[in-house]
């Protein structure tokens, strides 16, 4: 049912908590208060610091670009919607 067991954390005097072995430093997350006394943290996927490596070559008379990692179609659609 759960990927990770429920755990207890302690809030320090600066209102910080430590989540051992679950997150990377500077990893983005969101918090949602679902009911009194219950907070749910949702972790975002870490953003890769290095840009994708693009290889451009000619194929059947066209220039074709390929990248070294998978392309997320949802991100492409969102970016195209923002394109003027």
Q: Parse the chain into domains and list their residue ranges.
A: 48-84
Q: What is residue 56's predicted lDDT score, i.e. its pLDDT?
A: 95
Rounded to the nearest 5°, which phi and psi values hold at 79?
Answer: -65, -40
**pLDDT tens digits, one per residue of 44-82:** 776 666 778 899 999 999 999 998 888 888 888 988 999
- Counting residues of the chain whose pLDDT is more than 70, the rounded percentage is 89
Q: What is residue 9's predicted lDDT score, i.e. its pLDDT?
A: 80
* Global pTM exceeds 0.75: no
The strand pair at 38-43 and 29-35 is best described as antiparallel
């Amino acid at each position: 049912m759960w990927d990770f067991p429920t755990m207890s954390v302690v809030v320090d005097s600066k209102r910080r908590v430590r989540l051992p072995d679950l997150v990377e430093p500077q990893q983005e997350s969101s918090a949602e208060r679902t009911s009194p006394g219950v907070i749910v943290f949702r972790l975002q996927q870490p953003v890769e610091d290095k840009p994708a490596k693009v290889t451009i070559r000619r194929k059947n008379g066209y220039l074709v670009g390929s990248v070294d990692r998978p392309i997320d179609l949802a991100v492409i659609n969102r970016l195209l919607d923002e394109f003027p």
